[in-house]
Amino acid sequence: MFKYILKRLVQSVFILIGVSMIIYFLIRLMPVDFIQDKINAINQGGATVSQETVDAMYQMYGLGDDSFMGILGGYFSWLTALFQFDLGTSFVYGIPVADVIVQHMGISFAISLIATIFEFMIAIPLGITAATHQYSFRDYLVTILVMIGISLPSFFFGNMLKDFLALKLGLFPASGLIDATASYTGVELLIDYARHVFIPILTIVILSIGARMRMTRTNMLEVMNSDYIRTARAKGCEENVVINKHAFRNTLIPLVTSMAGLIPSLFSGAIITEQVFDLPGIGNVALDAMNRGDIPFIMGYNMFLAVLSVLGVLLADLMYGIVDPRVKLE
Q: How many CB atoms lie within 10 A of CB 89?
A: 19
| Residue 61 pLDDT class (50, 70, 90 cuts) | low
Q: Between these two residues, 184 and 274, which has the higher pLDDT value?
A: 274
Write down the domain spans for the chain.
100-292
Residue 98 in contact with residue 300, Cβ under 8 Å? Answer: yes
Per-residue pLDDT at 252: 74
| pLDDT at 170 exceeding the cut of 80 | yes
Query: Would you state the pLDDT for residue 268?
Result: 74
Q: In angstroms, rounded to a whole number, what is the distance separating the alpha carbons of residues 37 and 32?
A: 8
For 250-295, write each residue's pLDDT tens digit. 777 777 777 777 778 777 777 888 888 888 888 888 888 887 777 8
Q: How confident is the model at residue 174 (pLDDT cuts 50, 70, 90)?
A: confident
Pairwise CA distance, residues 34 & 30, whole Å: 10
DSSP-H helix ranges across 226-270: 227-234, 239-241, 248-258, 262-268
* pLDDT digits 0-9 by tens, 99-157: 888 888 888 888 888 988 998 888 888 888 888 888 888 888 888 878 877 888 888 88
pLDDT of residue 60: 63
- How close are the terminal C-alpha atoms of the chain, in Å? 6
Phi, psi (5° rounding) for residue 62? Answer: 65, 35
Query: For residues 279 and 174, is the Cβ–Cβ distance under 8 A?
Result: no
pLDDT value, residue 214? 83
Q: CA 102 to CA 245: how far, in whole Å?
A: 41
pLDDT band at 327 (very low <50, low <70, confident <90, very high): low
Fold annotation for 100-292 = MetI-like fold (1.10.3720)
| CA angle (36, 38, 40) in 5-degree steps | 70
Three-state secondary structure call for residue 319: helix
Higher pLDDT, 68 or 223: 223
